[in-house]
Amino acid sequence: MKLMCGKETLLNFINIVNKAVSSRTTLPILECILLTADQRGFTMTANNLELGIQTAPIDADVLEKGEIAIEAKIFHEIIRRLNGDTVTLETDEKNSITITGGTSRFTIMGQSGDDFPALPDVAQEEAYTLGQNELRNLIRQTIFSISQESTKQILTGELFEMKENALQVVSIDGYRISFRKSPLEHDFTEKSVVVPGKTLTELTKILSQEEEDKVHLYFTDKHVLFDLGMATMVSRLLEGEYVSYENNFTEDFKTKIIIDTNELIQALERASLVSRDNRKTPVRLELKPNVLVITARSDMGTAYEEVPNETDGDEMQIAFNPRYLIEALRAIDDEKVAIRFTGSLSPCTIVPLEGKAYQYLILPLRMGCAYVDEKIKEREAMTID
């Protein structure tokens, strides 16, 4: 193989395929990037057996066809540090590759391309199409509430539901539910799959933020393929039955508030400053007519906040892990949101003022069982003495 390619072009595509290079493996070939020059042109591939990425043909001058696998870390560092604008790659029959750029020249041992694992074959028949930036936002606005517990493997991914002319993305970690949806561009067959959270995290790093750029999704029973134009990403799907979540969302409420999103975020962040452990030291919300009182107490001190709002319904007190509220609110771009409450021990639901583009359900904490109550009693006893 022999070819010439621009340094910046080569570096950009290395950064893309690096997302699928294995960092912990007993198989050295999985730490490599496969370089291929054939009748299609010059492409690069990485595959960690759970996630694979292959570039579209890269702008390069292919002088001789060939294939080689080269260790990704050293290849990236060499290309990044070369002092020329053009890189020449040349291999020999002993699987060594010579990399030349500017006044620099490196010769590195590689491995036979025949040993590199092929990407799973995903037939590109029925496409589910939406904007890349829209998919990026759907993932960003839900990924924070996937489960981190390996014992609940199915919840370490996100549910992708293609139905009702939209892509619906759902994540659940046992304490909260995040739901987002966005229209799809064409008629399609309804489908439901669970995509690993690790795949989606890497995908967001390479999805375009340009509104005109599209992504096409293709599925088999075990894999999903994301066609981004300049590259394709293939991932395994998680197997199993996802948690039924629809009945948790309800239109019923005893109290609803309409509140400024940013003001509420800032108040919650300030109140949580006195908490070292959000699970043991919650923030308490007291719903009063047209004002939300937020308090927090711990052995460090106390915090008190008032946030004005439009209140509809009964007065109520309820406690939450502040991080769960903050993460949901940060994922919302609307200036104002509606929050529905059905009781002090029932979940609250954050929804838009109009439509059903998103819903965030968060379980409360029992105020009477909180660690903070024990500390408050201890302090009161000390004061009395």
The predicted-structure confidence for 181-197, as pLDDT tens digits, reads as follows 999 988 889 999 999 99
Average pLDDT along the chain: 92
Residue 210 CA to residue 232 CA, distance in Å, equals: 18
Arithmetic mean of pLDDT, 56-68: 97
Residues 331-352 have a mean pLDDT of: 96
Task: State mean pLDDT over 302-307.
Answer: 96
DSSP code string of 278-318: TTTS-EEEEEETTEEEEEEEETTEEEEEEEEEEEEE--EEE
User: Has residue 384 got a pLDDT over 60?
Assistant: no
3-class DSSP state of 339: strand
Confidence of residue 24 (pLDDT cuts 50, 70, 90): confident
Query: Does residue 142 carry a pLDDT above 90?
Result: yes
pLDDT at residue 47 greater than cutoff 50: yes
Task: Report residue 270: phi and psi, to 5°.
Answer: -65, -45
Q: Are 156 and 186 in contact (CB under 8 A)?
A: no
The DSSP result for 19-75, as a single string, is: GGS-SS-S-GGGGEEEEEEETTEEEEEEE-SSEEEEEPPBSEEEEE-EEEEEEHHHH
Q: Exposure of 259 by Cβ count < 10 A (0-12 exposed, 13-18 middle, 19+ buried)?
A: buried
The identity of residue 34, as a single letter, is L
Is it the case that residue 379 has pLDDT exceeding 90? no
Whether the pLDDT of residue 383 is over 70: the answer is no
* Over residues 274-283, mean pLDDT: 74
Reduce the DSSP state of residue 321 to 3 states and report it: coil
DSSP at 212: T
Give the pLDDT of residue 276: 65
pLDDT value for 281: 76
Q: Give the C-alpha separation, 160 to 242, whole Å.
A: 10
Question: CA-CA distance, 274 to 283, in Å (whole number)?
Answer: 10
Residue pair 279/372 in contact by the 8 Å Cβ criterion: no
**Residue 350 identity (one-letter amino acid):** I
Q: Which residue has the higher pLDDT, 227 or 150?
A: 227
Q: Is the pLDDT of residue 113 over 60?
A: yes
pTM score over 0.75: yes
pLDDT over 80 at 278, yes or no: no
Checking if the pLDDT of 34 tops 60, the result is yes
Q: What is the pLDDT of residue 178?
A: 98
Name the 3-class secondary structure at 134. helix
Residue 279 has pLDDT above 80, yes or no: no
pLDDT at 263: 98
- Residue 277: pLDDT band with limits 50, 70, 90: low
Res 224: pLDDT: 98
Whole-angstrom distance, CA of residue 24 vs CA of residue 20: 12
In this prediction, residues 280-299 reach a mean pLDDT of: 92
